[in-house]
Structure 1
Amino acid sequence: MDEWIALNEDAPDGNRYELVDGSVLVSPAPSMHHQFAGDELRALLRAAPPPELIAVTASGIPLGDRTGLIPDVLVVDRAAFADGAKMPDPALVHLVVEIVSPSTTTTDRTLKPAKYAAAGIPHFWRLETARFRGLGIDRLPVLFTYALDADAEYQLTRRLAAGTTAKIEDPFPVTLDPADLVVS
């Protein structure tokens, strides 16, 4: 795990290096549209939570000795920053957000949610910014919110399309319209 942390700290190429069951996944540096969406979402989440929670972007989460993932946005207990910790303990993470990119669709939709759920992270959000199967008449982007159930699996709690403003209650109340997360 220390090697994975060092790899991401010293990565001059801007790539993201994630560790899944001992195998390294390399993702290219996110596009400016991807980063804009993450920054805007972090700003919304930063303004909303109770004072004991903090929203951060692109911080790794060690999920055991052979897995470490880097969500686009996460909300953690302020305690996660204690003692100069470089990454939060998964028990201190309340929400992880993945913004789906062309190079990470399967990872963001399938692999990462399974790993986050197995680690007990109570909330997972996924932002779709490009056409996807099942889009229907919705405008992009579309935000999907999930909550962990008693069987440690994520259950869809909301599908929110651009042009619709709604208050999401969990893990804390925040009002948003996915349209505000992209440059149009």
Structure 2
Amino acid sequence: MKAGKPHRKATSTSVRGTPGELGVDEWFELNSRDDGSRYELIDGNLIVSPAPSFGHRRLGDRLRAYLESVCPREMVAVTATGLLLDRKPGVIPDLMVVDRAPFEEDAEVARAEWVRLVVEIVSRSATATDRRIKHTKYAEAGIPHFWRIEMRPFRGQGNEKLSVIFAYALEANNEYRLTHRIGAGSTLELTEPFPLTLVPAVLTEI
């Protein structure tokens, strides 16, 4: 299954109501605009992010292709696909591994209970959102695995080479626990959410 856009084509870009009252159709309309931006709603706040950079997209495309090749048949890796929070609009994660069945039945957006892994590549324009806000929202939604990928120098980086991947697993209290941290130049074997090998350096090659 190819990763699709988080929206369907709309005949109008008008938005009715306030951000907190947007329905899924209106969210689709926002994300049908031709400016390349992502429109997300978190706790009723509208967050607009510019189109991802080349490096950001390249890393995401490489990681999606790899995850697609190793995930179980009943799952699929997707990019630029909307995710409902509390069954309402909604965020657009950089990448998700989701249950395949709902999308074979023409689901247009993901529900949290279908998501096995969600990945955010930290962007310059949405650093706080990617590092903290989405981290919290994904945990509250019960998504079992979350990865954060740092492509640019960050506080606490130390001697690690970029990119650095932080892997989290959900605890019983619906909070994430950091399970692994791996920088470029290293290799990590994981068993969850399914067996895979992470090699950050390969993801950032041009």
Distance in 2 (CA, whole Å) between partners of 1:119 and 1:153 is 10
Q: Which of the residues 26, 33, 41 maps onto 2:55?
A: 33
Counterpart of 1:154 (choices 172, 176, 182) is: 176
Q: In 2, distance between residues paired with 1:131 and 1:36?
A: 18
Question: Alignment partner for residue 133 of structure 1, among 132, 145, 155?
Answer: 155
- Cα distance in 2 between the residues matched to 1:71 and 1:149: 21
Contact 2:87 2:111 in 1 (8 A): no
* Separation in 1, partners of 2:116, 2:141: 11
Aligned partner letter, 1:4? W
Which structure has more relative contact order (CA 8 Å, sep 6+)? It is: 1
* 1:45 partnered with 2:67: yes
Residue equivalent to 1:77: 99
Gaps of 5+ in 1: none
* Contact 2:185 2:199 (C-alpha < 8 Å) held by counterparts: yes
The answer (yes or no) to whether the contact 1:80–1:87 under 8 Å persists in 2 is no
RMSD: 1.2
1:98 paired residue number: 120
Distance in 2 (CA, whole Å) between partners of 1:24 and 1:116 is: 17
Q: CA deviation at 1:6?
A: 2.5
TM-score (norm 1): 0.95
- SS of match in other structure, 1:59: coil
Q: TM-score, normalised by structure 2?
A: 0.86
SS at match of 1:141: strand
Taking every aligned residue pair, what percent have the same amino acid on both sides? 53
1:5 matched residue in structure 2: 28
Q: How many residues align?
A: 183
SS in 2 for 1:41: helix
For the 8 Å contact 1:79–1:92, the answer to whether it is kept is no
Q: Deviations over 1:137-157 (max 9, x none)?
A: 111100000000000001001
Report if the CA contact (8 A) 1:21-1:66 is conserved.
no
Are the counterparts in 1 of residues 169 and 178 from structure 2 also a CA contact under 8 Å? yes
Structure 2 residues not aligned, in runs of 5+: 1-22
The counterpart of 2:110, out of the listed 88, 99, 117, is 88
Amino acid across the alignment from 2:29: A
Which of these residues, 66, 70, 81, is aligned with residue 59 of structure 1?
81
Q: Note the C-alpha offset of 1:5.
A: 2.6
Q: Which of the pair has more CA radius of gyration?
A: 2
Once the two structures are overlaid, the 10-residue window that deviates more, 79-88 or 53-62, is 79-88
- For 1:171, the aligned partner's letter is P
Structure 2 CA distance for aligned equivalents of residues 153 and 147 of structure 1 = 8
